[in-house]
Structure 1
Amino acid sequence: MKISHYFELEAHVTGGIRESVKNQRKMLDRLDLQYTTEPTLDADVFHCNLMGPRSVWYAKRARSRGIPVVAHTHVTAEDFGDSFRFTNALAKPLKPYLERAYGLADALVCPSEYNRRLLETYTDVPTTVISNGVDREKLEGFESLADEYRERYDLRPPVVFLVGHVIKRKGLATFVELARRRPDLDFAWFGPLDRSLKGRETLSLIDNAPDNCTFTGYVDDVRGAYAAGDIFCFPTHEENEGIALLEAMTAGKPILVRDIETFSWLEDGEDCLKVSGSGVDAFADAIDRLEDPDRRRELGAAAADRSDAFSLSAVADRYETLYAEVA
């Protein structure tokens, strides 16, 4: 079986989608499946990861030739808003476009049950939930980078941290306000800033953040982020799954999240702490509790155990099953 595993705009798209595609291809390598990263109709399955206009063009022609189309649902109108400049204006017309684009597929791959429930409002195409997975090998040896990255960014443990693009949707305002309320703690957000893509409100939050809130920009080795950080604080308002969350769990970090539907599979007080509502007070209280190193170790160990189910080796067979079903 040959798969056309296509990622439109691959040279330009970063963040979680890029990491998911990397993970998928590692899983395909594990399965010893033949695939090309080029869009081609000389394949048994056309699998697209981003339904841009070129992917739609190929999907239509694949269907006309009887080649099954698999589409990943990384992008929804719901998580597109409050991301980059102009995305709020584009979010409304994006949904009807995605309804038509995803409707061209024979099967949709959703990274979470929450994402699947959203997609059921877009189209009646059959859906399969397959986690983006977490590449455990990518994080190997991260502990050795702790001193280097703490010195580089002048961080003193316990460090409250987050990994990923700095965007409003991921709880930027909450993160900055938490840092302002806790001047005795260091807060660090590891990830690209892309200032030219930011709206005024986002730039204002970044530029007016307190001195104990560091925005590192792109880091050359993401393992350094997980080495330097002690409490993974993820106050995101909307997420399809959250690869950085899975990575932090794999690294054994205690997890603090907003109690949104995406994270319903996590158990509050067991493998994470959850905060309800949009206020900052509850997040501040949770951070108070996580100042106890024993509690951090306990929650971090439980998170690491829970992350086993998301390893690439645990997820890979789902792709082989899916391709066999559609081909």
Structure 2
Amino acid sequence: MRVSHYFEWESQITGGHAQSVQNQRTVLDRKGIEYTTEPTLDADVLHLNNMGPRSVYYAKRAQRADVPVVVHGHQTAEDLKESFRFFTALSKPARPYLSYAYSLADHIVCPTEHNRRVLETYTDAPKTVISNGFDPGKIDGHDDDALRQEYLDRYDLDPPVVFMVGHVIERKGLRSFVETARRMPDVDFAWFGYLNPGGGTVDRLLRSRTTTKLVNAAPENCTFTGYVDDIAGAFAAGDVFFWPSKNENEGMALLEAMAAGKPPVIRDIETYGWLDDETHCLKADEEFVDPLRRLVENPTERDRFGDVAAEKSAEFTIDAIADDIETLYGRITA
């Protein structure tokens, strides 16, 4: 079998979307499935990971050539809201465009059951739920004491540290993160992830005014690290994972935090119906101070929730999803 595994705008897209594509390619490598990253019809399957105009063009050609088209459902119009400047406005026209683009698929891969339900309103193309997965190798060293101390010292953090990993955007719960930190002045909060406040013109144009204001007005106990070269250092330094994101298709950083044994406090949104409150995590709608206090002040509770979270995360490793991807390819080419 040969797969055309195409990721449009690959050099521009970062974060969980890009990591998901890398995870898929790791699966292909481990399964010994031949693939090219170029869009081509000289393949048994055309697998598209970002439905830009070039992907739509090749999907239409594949239909005419009778080459099966698999599309990963990474994007929804809802994702665009409260992310970067102008993206909320783009979310309205994005809906009909994505509905058309997804309708070109012979099969859509949805990372969660919630994402599948959302995409059912876009198109009736067949869908299968397969997690984006995560690579445990990315967090190797999270339990290293020396790495922990290095990152605590680098960002002047005093444990126990409440932390977040991801792009600094409003949709990820930036306002809740900042305001909760303000209400807990005795606790250090750290957001590890791309910010680049001194970046180039494109960065300044894309970053919303609200994001800039929230970051600039954050209290002293709230640190934004910007990009970190070793993400394992973030998971080493943090003690309680605070994930107040308002909308996610899955949330790879959450899976990584769970695998690192960091107890999660998360916003109670539909995406996380597979996580049980008071078992795998603590959930809240908006008032996060009490659940965070509970874990910050009680090491036994942190360990208990962290252990259960780590056990649950094993269902979402690259190895755990590899057979599902291989099986899907086999089914649509049979």
* TM-score, normalised by the number of residues in structure 2: 0.95
Distance in 1, matches of 2:196 and 2:82, equals 14
Aligned to 2:293: 288
Give 1:271's aligned amino acid. H
- How far off its partner does 1:142 sit? 2.0
Aligned to 1:267: 276
2:196–2:227 contact (8 Å) kept in structure 1: no
- How far off its partner does 1:143 sit? 2.1
Give 1:310's aligned amino acid. F
Aligned to 1:248: 257
Aligned to 1:129: 129
Among candidates 303, 307, 323, match of residue 309 of structure 2: 303
Comparing 12-21 with 135-144, which one deviates more in the overlay?
135-144
Distance in 2, matches of 1:194 and 1:79, equals 21
SS of 1:94 mapped into structure 2: helix
Distance in 1, matches of 2:326 and 2:66, equals 20
SS of 1:316 mapped into structure 2: helix
Aligned to 2:201: none
SS of 1:220 mapped into structure 2: coil
Give 1:217's aligned amino acid. G
Aligned to 2:72: 72
The structure 1 segments of at least 4 consecutive aligned residues displaced by more than 2 Å after TM superposition are none
2:154 matches 1:164? no
Distance in 2, matches of 1:55 and 1:124, equals 19
- How far off its partner does 1:247 sit? 0.3
SS of 1:128 mapped into structure 2: strand
- How far off its partner does 1:231 sit? 0.5
SS of 1:142 mapped into structure 2: coil
SS of 2:47 mapped into structure 1: strand
| Identical-residue share of aligned pairs (%) | 60
Comparing 173-182 with 195-204, which one deviates more in the overlay?
195-204
2:2–2:33 contact (8 Å) kept in structure 1: yes
2:4–2:47 contact (8 Å) kept in structure 1: yes
Among candidates 143, 146, 149, match of residue 148 of structure 2: 146
- Give CA-to-partner distance per residue, 1:125-176, whole Å, 9 cap, x none: 0001000001012211222211111110001111000000000011100000
Distance in 2, matches of 1:29 and 1:184, equals 47
Aligned to 1:119: 119
Aligned to 1:324: 330
- Give CA-to-partner distance per residue, 1:231-288, whole Å, 9 cap, x none: 1000111100000000000000000001110001001111100103xx3xx3001111
The count of aligned residue pairs is 323
Alignment of 1:182-197 (within 5 A): 182-195=184-197, 196=204, 197=206
Distance in 2, matches of 1:26 and 1:139, equals 16
Distance in 2, matches of 1:166 and 1:138, equals 20
